Amino acid sequence: MFVGHYGPAAAVAGKRIKLWHGFVAVQLLDILWAPFVLVGIEHARIVENFTASNHFDLYHMPYTHSLVMALVWSLVAGFAYNAWRKCGGAIIGALVFSHWIFDFITHKPDLELWFGGPKAGLGLWDHRTIAVSVEFALLLAGFMIFLKATKSKGVGGVIAPVVLLVALAAAQLVGNFGPPPGSAAEAAQTAIIAYGVFAALAFWVDASRTAK
């Protein structure tokens, strides 16, 4: 899953956590995955049409996407957020773990339950129309909740969410319908840039809107 991860982040953002904090939380496992792939700690390969939705064979990612490590990263993120912001850690931890839940629904069986253990995944990515529909439904539902819970400080508060949603939608469609990346390293580098851009746009949304 890609942009669907951001739906829960938007749904709970406003008073207790910033939108951009939620954006980083829901993609934390992938934010870690990208440099892990680049330095050879985890491994992936590009196989054209490996699923109906994308070209990724994610055959080795135990340190970021196994169930055990997803729980560990969720706890670490939650405690770190509480130490930083004094509250909201439980929300951040839940958002981090939501990534694994949604990946379990969409991935082929490539998510280890523990190191060297069985791999799980329901394979929704093999049904592209349904998978894309679920992604956008989650994203739009989350943003509808966010927009109802916040109000614009000015014109920017209207423009910023639209720009963010358009950027997310474009990235999703390129991922689902575009050509495969040249390599796993290229995909990892693109992911790092994309997550940074989306977090920055979410920061803009935070700066231009306030909780009702």
Could you report the per-residue pLDDT of 18-72, keeping only the tens digit for each? 999 999 999 999 999 999 999 999 999 999 999 999 999 999 999 999 999 999 9
Candidates 101, 98, 97, 79; CA nearest to 88 is 79
d(CA 92, CA 82): 9
Could you report the per-residue pLDDT of 66-92, keeping only the tens digit for each? 999 999 999 999 999 999 998 999 999
Candidates 2, 6, 17; CA nearest to 143 is 6
Residue span of the structural domain in which 159 resides: 3-211
Phi, psi at residue 56, to the nearest 5°?
A: -100, 120
Q: How many other β-carbons are positioned within 10 Å of the β-carbon of residue 152? A: 16
d(CA 98, CA 35): 21
d(CA 124, CA 52): 9
d(CA 33, CA 203): 23
pLDDT exceeds cutoff 90 at 189: yes
Work out how many domains the chain is built from and give that number.
Answer: 1
Specify the 3-state DSSP secondary structure of 132: helix
